[in-house]
Amino acid sequence: MYTSVASVATDRGGRYIKQLCSHFNQKADSTFDEKTGHTVFAFGEARMTAESETLELQVSAESEELLGRVEYVVADHLERFAKRDQLTVTWTRG
């Protein structure tokens, strides 16, 4: 299993988890509450945790290629949803 993590500075992590998981749930299995979210895509999965000043992201997949796809999907959607807050996601592969 291949994994990546990212820590995004925001005090609105719970809001973004809700927005991401609600959106992803249209095509993937997503669950969430105020502080955590989990989405299982056909090509990998994403876990999200809201801390007081950060949104912690962890993604995983069966291959590097699929990991890149999960990284792209999660980062692209978060950055679009958070355009006003100018959030950026920088992945670190583990």
3-state secondary structure at position 17: helix
Two structure tokens written together for 77? 């959607």
- For residue 43, being part of any structural domain is answered with yes
Mean pLDDT over the full length of the chain = 97
Q: How many domains does the chain have?
A: 1
- For residue 57, being part of any structural domain is answered with yes
Give me the pLDDT at residue 94, please. Answer: 86
Cβ atoms of 63 and 46 closer than 8 Å:
no
Residue 55 structural domain: 2-87
Give me the pLDDT at residue 48, please. Answer: 98
Q: What is the pTM of this model?
A: 0.96
> pLDDT band at residue 29, thresholds of 50, 70 and 90?
very high
We report the CATH number of the domain holding residue 65 as: 3.30.310.50
Mean pLDDT of 54-76: 98
- For residue 31, being part of any structural domain is answered with yes
Mean pLDDT of 12-22: 97
Our CA angle for 9, 15, 17, nearest 5°, is 80
- For residue 27, being part of any structural domain is answered with yes
